[in-house]
């Protein structure tokens, strides 16, 4: 029983990963830790963090669940299943490990086992809204979503806890996945109403407003998110995209730079930064990034075109022609 209590406490304070939730978003946002990494689209950082935690304490059930959920984002279902079962060997009624096995079953197209594990997770701790959050969010965060099951458990949770901010936050994610942006914005606003210090709810609301081309309101939401938690990662990419769209290239460059200093940088990130530097008339820096990208993507015509523009702007006409 002590192991189960310790695990639940962990999920209350450190759980913004697939198949997990917290009492208030703000509880863990003040300190960027592994559970935040998946929300920040940094699965590699999350995996490393949990692996290090288990190295110091191999029987840490919360870390095993965290690593297992992280492995699901890599579609490593067999490894995740081993970890979830190891937790259940010590605590047969651990609701988060049971929920995790339900996610594994869904990934393996085993719908009967999925339903069984999710129901067992719910019955293991009926009065804990975190369990409903764990199942619903887990279904939405997997590479292959299960929006139907997510909706079922969101409704069950909201029937019991209509003022629970995290349930509204996950509802926003569900509506976003279905491209119901108006409903998503309303859900995030409810999450903020019940938890005004939720940096992630403000961030996601900002993204919905950005989709809607309400750029001023989106900027306000993003800035509120940064004020609540300046140690985030993804919000700076969001800000960079917004500033780039409205042609504020100085601000876009600054935001992208902050993002790239903290993130597992992708080629798409480098490409966007190169374009921003070009429009910001930092031709040498843009050319350097484009050269790096062309070593990977030799046939991408857009990169050649931007390099041609740079050659024109720097009066290197022969190179521009090439």
CA distance 91 to 3: 7
pLDDT digits 0-9 by tens, 27-84: 333 333 465 888 898 999 999 999 999 999 999 999 999 999 999 999 999 999 999 9
CA atoms within 13 A on the CB side of 230: 2
Position 25 scores a pLDDT of 34
Residue partners of 246: CB distance under 8 A and separation at least 6: 215
Other residues' Cβ atoms within 10 Å of the Cβ of residue 266: 11
Contact 173, 140 (CB under 8 A): yes
The dihedral of CA 63, 69, 70, 71: what is its sign?
Answer: positive
- Confidence at residue 143, expressed as pLDDT on a 0 to 100 scale: 85
pTM of the model as a whole: 0.85
Q: How many CB atoms lie within 10 A of CB 144?
A: 9
Closest to 115 in 3D by CA, of 79, 93, 139 = 139
Give every residue of the chain whose pLDDT is below 70, as ranges: 1-35, 298
Tokens of 134: 């764990």
Q: Which pLDDT does position 35 carry in this prediction?
A: 57
Per-residue model confidence (pLDDT) at position 126: 87
pLDDT of residue 28: 32
φ, ψ (nearest 5 deg) of residue 125: -155, 70
87/60 Cα distance (integer angstroms): 9
C-beta pairs of 40-46 under 8 Å, 24+ apart in sequence: 40/232, 40/233, 40/234, 40/263, 41/233, 41/234, 41/263, 42/233, 42/263, 42/264, 43/70, 43/73, 43/74, 44/264, 45/264, 46/17, 46/70, 46/73
Confidence (pLDDT) at 296: 86
Predicted local confidence at residue 34, as pLDDT: 61
What is the structure's pLDDT at 144? 86
> Sign of dihedral through CA atoms 100, 105, 109, 110?
negative
Closest CA to 21 of 166, 169, 141: 166
Q: Using alpha carbons, select from 86, 80, 137, 136 the residue that is nearest to residue 107.
A: 80
């Amino acid at each position: 029983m002590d192991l189960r209590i310790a695990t639940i406490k962990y999920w209350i304070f450190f759980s913004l990963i697939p198949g997990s939730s917290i009492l208030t978003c703000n509880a863990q946002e003040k300190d960027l830790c592994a559970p935040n990494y998946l929300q920040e689209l940094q699965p590699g950082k999350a995996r490393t963090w949990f692996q290090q935690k288990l190295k110091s304490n191999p029987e840490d059930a919360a870390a095993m669940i965290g690593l297992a959920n992280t492995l699901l984002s890599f579609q490593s279902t067999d490894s995740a299943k081993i970890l979830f079962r190891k937790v259940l060997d010590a605590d047969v009624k651990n609701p988060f490990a049971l929920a995790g096995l339900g996610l594994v079953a869904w990934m393996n197209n085993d719908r009967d086992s999925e339903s069984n594990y999710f129901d067992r997770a719910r019955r293991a701790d009926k009065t804990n809204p975190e369990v409903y959050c764990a199942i619903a969010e887990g279904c939405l965060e997997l590479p292959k979503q299960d929006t139907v099951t997510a909706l079922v458990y969101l409704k069950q949770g909201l029937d019991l806890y209509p003022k629970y901010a995290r349930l509204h936050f996950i509802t926003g994610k569900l509506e976003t996945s279905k491209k119901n942006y108006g409903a998503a914005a309303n859900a995030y606003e409810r999450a903020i109403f019940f938890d005004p210090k939720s940096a992630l709810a403000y961030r996601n609301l900002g993204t919905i407003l950005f989709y809607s081309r309400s750029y001023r309101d989106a900027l306000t939401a993003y800035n509120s998110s940064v004020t609540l938690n300046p140690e985030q990662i993804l919000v700076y990419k969001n800000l960079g995209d917004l500033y780039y769209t409205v042609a504020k290239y100085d601000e876009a460059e600054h935001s992208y730079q902050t993002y790239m200093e903290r993130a597992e940088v992708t080629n798409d990130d480098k490409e966007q930064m190169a374009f921003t530097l070009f429009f910001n008339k930092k031709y040498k820096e843009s050319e350097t990034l484009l050269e790096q990208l062309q070593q990977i993507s030799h046939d991408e015509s857009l990169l050649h075109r931007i390099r041609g523009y740079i050659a024109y702007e720097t009066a290197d006409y022969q190179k521009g022609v090439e």
